[in-house]
Structure formats: structure tokens, C-alpha cells
Amino acid sequence: MNGHDFTLAGETLTALGSGALWFGPQRLLCVSDLHLGKSERTARRGGGLLPPYEMTDTLARLEADIAAADPAVVVCLGDSFDDLASAEALPDTVVEWLRRLQAGRSWIWIAGNHDPTPIDLGGTHRDELKVGPLTFRHIADPCARHDISGHYHPKAALNVRGRLISRPCFLHDATRLILPAYGTYTGGLRWTDKALQNLMDGDARAILTGPTPRPFPMPRAACRA
């Protein structure tokens, strides 16, 4: 699989170019911040009528990752739905699609700030999940060690010889990992943002998503002023 291996708490993890995380020894695939139903929620609130194809796109990419990895466990790391109302208003095709993806494997919905309560869409619901030394939760706990979270939608922005390249990215250091947002309509928070700078250690690395995921040192200077 097209991924970049690194270790956290002695476990080998693989950052996939799609933005999903593969935990090989456990055959666990983790995706964060799908934000399904985002376009419907935007319309409901009187915003623009965005192209209503983002669920199809997000699920098609997830289906491809599942087909390639054949995971025993899929963890959706919170904010899987843009809000509870959009989760309840999913079209039947999407509900069936989710059931197909869930068939034959265990599926865990972690609660997020957009979808804090259980939703009747198969799988099990958890606030957090422990696997070996690792804890999966939606929002990083600054005091905890070895947690894997999402929520911040980290994104890298690099100026490489005059070209500005911006990509969603994983951030990790010795104690934590933050996943990029997987959903199609999700924005990003620059890796130089204070929230991310404060959470991550000085030697943190970013793994940029894309055709070949690549590690970069997380820049530290710009925002500490």
C-alpha cells in the first residue's frame, strides 16, 4: 500500500496518501472527520447550495481504502457527520452503502463535537477506544500520552521554489498523532496555527498526504512570537 511507516508508542503505523491511518498488526483502518452531510447542512442554514456530491466522493474514497487494506476494524474518529440532523437525513443509498462497507468487519464510531450522540447506522459507538498502548479519541487530550485524534484538520503549506503547495497532513511526535480530515468538504488548519503548535512537541513531524505521503519537520518558528 502507498504509505509512510512511523512508530508511536512502539507500534508501527502507516500514514496512507489518502489521509487514512493503517495499523497493520491490528488490521485496523482509521479515518477522521468525514463530515458527511456537510452540503445539506450548509443549505439548511441558508448558505450556498454546494454541489451535493461530497458524500459520494468521501465514501468512494473510503471504499477504495477498505478494498485495498481489507481491515478487520474500521474506526471513524469523530465528526463523521456534519451534524446530527444531517446524519438522520442521509439518503437511503448512503445508508445502504455504509452497511455494505460495514459487512464482515467491526465498525466503530467515535463521538465528535459535531456528532456527540449515537446514531442508528450500524457499528458501535464509543467516546474513545483503547488498542494496546494507543487511545483513539476525537480531540487530542494535552495531558494524555499515546493518543490518536482528529478534529483539527491539520494542513501543511510549503513554498517550494516559488510554488505554494498546500496539503492535508498527519502530525506526530513521540506522544501523539493527529489525523488529517478525510471528508471531501473539509477545510484545513495551517500547521503553523497556535492550537497545533501548542499541542505538538518541538521535534514533531508532518506527513503530507498525496500520491506519495512524505514526512516533513513541522515548522516551529513563525507563530511562537
Partner 1 sequence: MTTLPARFTDWFAARGWTIHPHQQDMLDRADAPALLLIAPTGGGKTLAGFLPSLVELADGRHAGLHTLYISPLKALAADIRRNLGTPIGDMRLPIRVEDRTGDTSATRKKRQRADPPHILLTTPESLALLLSYEDAPRMFAGLKRVVVDEIHALAESKRGDQLMLALSRLQAIVPDMRRVGLSATVEDPAAIAGFLARHPDPCDILYADPGPDPDIAMLRTEEPPPWAGGGGKYAIPAVLEQVRRHKTALIFHNTRAQAEIFFHELWLANEDALPIGIHHGSLAREQREKVEAAMVRGDLRAIVCTGSLDLGIDWGDVDLVIQVGAPKNVKRLVQRIGRANHRYNAPSKALLVPANRFEIVECVAALEAVKARDLDGDPRGPGPRDVLCQHILIRAAAGPFDAAELYHEVKTTGAYAGLTRAAFDDCLDFVATGGYALRAYDRWQRLVERDGLWQLRDPRAAQRIRMNIGTIQDTDLLKVRMKGRGGQPLGEIEEGFAATLTRGDTFLMGGQVVRYEGLREMTVEVTRRADKAPKIATFMGTKFATSTQLSQRILRMFHQEAWPELPGHTADWLRLQRNRSKLPEAETLLVESFPHAGREHTCVYGFAGRNAMQTLGLLVTQRMERTGLHPMGFVSTDYAVLIWGLDPVTDPAPLFEPGNLREDFETWLAGNAVMKRTFKASAVIAGLIDRNTGGQRKTGRQATFSSDILYDTLLRYDPDHLMMRITREEALKGLVDFGRIEEMLARTAGRVDHVMLDRVTPLAAPLLLEAGRVPVEGAATERLLAEEAEKMLAEAGLADPDPVKPAWRVPF
Q: List interacting residues with partner 1 (CB under 8 A).
A: 4-6, 39-40, 43-44, 46-54, 56-57, 152-153, 157-161, 163-166, 181, 184-190, 192, 203, 205, 208, 210-212, 214-217, 219, 221-223, 225
Report, in Å, the least distance between residue 60 CB and partner 1: 9
Q: Measured from the CB atom, is 38 or 137 closer to partner 1?
A: 38
**Helix axes of 92-102 and 54-69: crossing angle, nearest 10 degrees:** 10
Q: State the Cα–Cα distance between residues 114 and 186, nearest whole angstrom.
A: 13
Q: Measured from the CB atom, is 126 or 173 closer to partner 1?
A: 173
Q: Measured from the CB atom, is 137 or 155 closer to partner 1?
A: 155
Q: State the Cα–Cα distance between residues 124 and 118, nearest whole angstrom.
A: 8
Contacts of 50 (CB under 8 A, 6+ apart): 38, 39, 42, 43, 185
Q: Measured from the CB atom, is 119 or 158 closer to partner 1?
A: 158
Report, in Å, the least distance between residue 50 CB and partner 1: 6
Q: Give the distance between the most distant pair of CA atoms in the chain.
A: 51
Q: Measured from the CB atom, is 103 or 161 closer to partner 1?
A: 161
Report, in Å, the least distance between residue 166 CB and partner 1: 8
Report, in Å, the least distance between residue 80 CB and partner 1: 16
Among candidates 173, 169, 193, 191, which has minimal Cα distance to 182?
169
Alpha-helical regions (H) of the chain: 38-44, 54-69, 84-88, 92-102, 194-199
Report, in Å, the least distance between residue 101 CB and partner 1: 20
